[in-house]
Structure 1
Amino acid sequence: MTSKKIRPLLLLFLSALLVLTACGGRNDGGEGNSTLSGNIEIDGSSTVYPITEAVAEEFMKIYPEVNVTVGVSGTGGGFKRFVVGEIDINDASRPIKEEEIEKAKQNGIEFIELPVAYDGITVVVNKENDWVDSLTIEELKKIWSPDSKVTKWSDIRPGWPEQKINLYGPGTDSGTFEYFTEAVNGKARESRFDYTASEDDNVLVQGVSQDKYALGYFGFAYYLENMDRLKAVKIDSGTGPVEPTMDTIREGTYKPLSRPLFIYVNKKSLERPEVKEFVNFYMKNAGKLASEVGYVPMAEDVYNENLSKLK
């Protein structure tokens, strides 16, 4: 074959290869294009953080000119910024409160609430703890109530070690703190405060994993990620001890510590194409990515409803 005949065939082959590469590079089902750019700022719950961070990482692979930052100041800390328009999206492990809605209105902030996954607040002890297998809700209340007299493990059940119990839990800006205190103590934010507190669940993981006599609570994903260092405590709400698992959280049998997780999106931010594309991408991939980082996905029709809200 002459060089004059080879050249057109080579050009045709290269053109076809470019088309195939361009088509194969998109696997997100998104409607945007790689020319998107800008900054998206997210803050809030450390519990929701692993899902949002996973979504952000995948999104930025497709849109490298968009910078998505995800903070962990806690649900309440995030809402403080969200209701004054400082951030585009707030991760939340509880629904927005009436007073937060009112502050948003005062500042002209309109928003959309989007549920993204289910979580089970997990009570954990150190891996070397060989005396605790389960706790009742009443025993949890005995430990965590504002007027608690529990200082040693033996104060919970006779026969348990006469050793000081060292408690770890979320700080007061955490949605996990509010949900747990309401579920266990009967009123949100009612709790003892002589414990090691942090809005960063990794700090709590570190504390419990290094202390044989510790007990703490935080989101299920952080337990799954550290099963080699922690032991989950089964919870008995009156029908027998139930272990937190994907199935018990999904079915609602792990009660009363199963709960939905949300993101809240500023409507004005959605006018920016990079934010709109990000939130659409989030809803199309939340189920898969939530499972990958240790949460229970919502039913598919919930994500479809969320997409309808965005339209």
Structure 2
Amino acid sequence: MTRQSKRTGSNLSRRKFIVGAGAAGVAGLAGCTRSGGSSGSPTESGGDSTDSGGEGTEGTQSETLSGDINVAGSSTVFPLATAMAERFQKNHSGVSVNIQSTGSGGGFANYFCTGQTDFNNASRPIKKEEKQQCSSNDVEPVELKVATDALTVIVNNDNDWIGEGLTVEQLKQIWSAETKPKTWADVNSEWPDEPLELFGPTDASGTYDYFIEAVLGEEGPGHRQDYSATEQDRTIVQGVQGSKYAMGYLGFAYYSENQDAVQAVPIKDGDGGYVEPSLDNALQGKYTPLSRPLFTYAAKSSLSKNHVAEFAKFWLENATSKKIVAEEVGYVPLSDKEQSQMMDKLESAIQEAN
């Protein structure tokens, strides 16, 4: 894959995002969000206009809200949560949204299911054992889909041997605990006989879990552990950028913020062609098997607090925004139908909590 084709795909996905992704936009300037352990991409400041000519969803502040909102979880969802929190806090200065980037699993185990946070962001669905832990602490999670991601495999800009891209089988061979090739030539004899340098998320990350599910198979030998693991997505980018023979994987938003630093690798699934990771391809179902839903989980009891419930509604109201979700953060917004379904689920949970 060439750097030119990489840039073209990203620019198309971010600047010419398809109309069907959603309609609602917002008007406002981002405020300050407190974060711990953040690995999120920076959000842009400046006013947002509506996306499709309709009314923005921020409007004017109709009531005084105050209190803290605590959020932990996925580093992939972190930049989206931050973008929403900044806008909400601008409209409600008495509310402080505190966001930690802990990984999906780390957030569930250490914060959300122990009752310490109001929301847990996740780049994969909650697991059975996490539900059981939540239940044992009287925490009832409410699953809300907030976007779609295109999990992205990246290589160094000087990598000129992959060509069109990688097959899912080659990805499986590279990252499997069973095969563990040491050099690029171990994967393809025509590739350099140079050490594979691998960078990726830790096992606390939903991105790690999803990669196992989509590429390695949950019943397979598992993910190799001889790689540089980090919860800091920027560290993955920096590692790949710094070595000609490196490879990594992470959420699309982090690649889109660093598209000149590394190359995104097109992926071939089965008999189809090589498909670039992009928002268009993820929305249209072409980028398989690496497109995935992104979630935030609300604690139902927290939704009895007005400022928490209003933040959840605000997030969903703006989850169809191309301006915020696609152009600023780099994910696929919800469709109008998905938004309506999530809003119905949230409204029911709020009623039950009160």
Residue deviations 1:184-236 (CA, integer Å, cap 9, x gap):
11117911000000112111111111111100000011111100001011111
Residue 159 of structure 2 corresponds to residue 124 of structure 1: no
Cα distance in 1 for residues equivalent to 2:199 and 2:320 = 30
Distance in 2 between residues matched to 1:156 and 1:31, nearest whole Å = 58
Q: Matches of 2:243 and 2:58 in 1, distance apart?
A: 46
Q: Aligned letter for 1:97?
A: K
CA–CA separation in structure 2 for the residues paired with 1:94 and 1:176: 7
Distance 2:180 2:212 in 1: 17
2:117 aligns with 87
CA contact (8 A) 2:142 2:299 kept: yes
Equivalent position of 1:36 in the other structure:
65
CA-CA distance at 1:56 after TM superposition:
0.5
- Provide the rounded CA distance (Å) in 2 between the counterparts of 1:33 and 1:67: 18
The alignment's TM-score, normalised by the length of structure 1, stands at: 0.88
171-180 or 153-162, which deviates more: 153-162
- Over the aligned positions, Cα root-mean-square deviation in angstroms equals 1.6
DSSP-derived class of the 1:115 partner: strand
Which AA in structure 2 matches 1:58? R
Determine if the alignment matches structure 1 residue 167 to structure 2 residue 198.
yes
Q: How does 1:246-265 map to 2 (within 5 A)?
A: 246-265=279-298
Letter aligned with residue 83 of structure 1? C
Q: CA deviation at 1:181?
A: 1.2
Structure 2 Cα separation of the partners of residues 41 and 298 of structure 1: 24
Aligned match for 2:300, one of 267, 275, 279: 267
1:299 aligned onto 2:331: no
Q: Give 1:1-311 correspondences, 5 Å limit.
A: 27-29=56-58, 33=62, 35-80=64-109, 81-133=111-163, 134-187=165-218, 190-238=222-270, 239-288=272-321, 289-292=324-327, 293-311=329-347
Tell me if structure 2 keeps the 8 A contact 1:154–1:163: yes
Which segments of 5 or more consecutive residues in structure 2 lack a partner in the other structure? 1-54, 348-354
Give secondary structure in 2 for the equivalent of 1:281. Answer: helix
Distance in 1 between the 2:140 and 2:61 partners?
24
Distance in 1, Cα, partners of 2:102 & 2:201? 11
One-letter code of the match for 2:142? I
State the number of aligned residues.
286
- 3-state SS in 2 of match to 1:42: strand
1:59: Cα distance to partner?
0.7
Q: Partner of 2:24 in structure 1?
A: none
Q: CA deviation at 1:57?
A: 0.7
Distance in 1 of aligned mates of 2:60 and 2:91:
12
Contact 1:34 1:62 in 2 (8 A): no
% same residue: 47
Mapped to 1, the partners of 2:68 and 2:276 lie a distance apart of: 41
Letter in 1 for 2:341: E
Unaligned runs of 5+ in 1: 1-25
* Whole-angstrom distance in 1 between the partners of 2:114 and 2:59: 30
* Contact 2:70-2:117 within 8 A present in 1 as well: yes
CA contact (8 A) 1:30 1:280 kept: no
Report the residue type matching 1:117 in the other structure. A
Distance in structure 1 (CA, Å) of the matches to 2:60 and 2:145: 22
The CA distance in 2 between the partners of 1:164 and 1:132, in whole Å, is 15
Displacement of 1:250 after TM fit?
0.5
Per-residue displacement from partner, 1:99-125 (whole Å, max 9, x unpaired)? 111111111111211001111110000
How far 1:287 sits from its partner (Å)? 2.2
Q: Which amino acid is the alignment partner of residue 197 of structure 1?
A: A
Shift of 1:32: 6.0
**Local SS of the residue matching 1:181:** helix
Q: Provide, for residues 10-47 of structure 1, a one-character-per-residue CA deviation record: whole Å limited to 9, x for no partner.
A: xxxxxxxxxxxxxxxx9534696452111101010011
TM-score for the superposition, normalised by structure 2: 0.78
**Distance change (3 Å), C-alpha of 1:284 and 1:256:** same
| Distance (Å, rounded) in 1 between the aligned partners of 2:314 and 2:277 | 29
Change (3 A) 1:79 1:32: farther
Report the alpha carbon displacement of residue 148 of structure 1 after superposing the two structures with TM: 2.0
Structure 2: distance between partners of 1:274 and 1:202: 32
Distance in 1 between residues matched to 2:346 and 2:312, nearest whole Å:
8
How far the C-alpha of 1:183 sits from its partner, in A, is 1.2
Structure 1 counterpart of 2:26: none
